[in-house]
Amino acid sequence: MSLDVSLYSVEKKTVMCYSCMHEHEEQELLYDSNITHNLNEMADKAGIYKALWRPEEIGAKYAKDIIEIVEKGLADLKARPEYFEQFNSPNGWGMYHHFVPFVEDYLNACKEYPDAEIHISR
């Protein structure tokens, strides 16, 4: 199982659907990434679980709503690698050295597209 995070433009654009041959209004995908659920405990210990996995529970709809939370969590992850490595998945699927770049990348996308809508699939 995994967490899929996506950022979509608020504005919609008209695109042609070649399956049905009609035009549809769609949001533009601005960012998309995926990480294993095995990292949810590490995320929780860093204070970023809800921002990443369940933003709707903290009232976050847009990328700008989670930037500050994710910045703090990322700083904590980087400051205490030994602590967070204890939450590495025993099967190797969900490791600190994979999670930090994922969080950095997602944070950068949130900063680049602060008004984008957050879409989560778990």
Distances (CA, A) of 69 to 22, 55, 60, 63, 75: 41, 11, 11, 11, 10
Q: Tens place of pLDDT for every residue, the chain, 122 residues?
A: 899 999 999 988 887 878 888 888 888 999 999 999 999 999 999 999 999 999 999 999 999 999 999 999 999 999 999 999 999 999 999 999 999 999 999 999 999 999 999 999 98
Query: Residue 34 in 3-state DSSP?
Result: strand
Predicted TM-score (pTM) of the model is 0.90
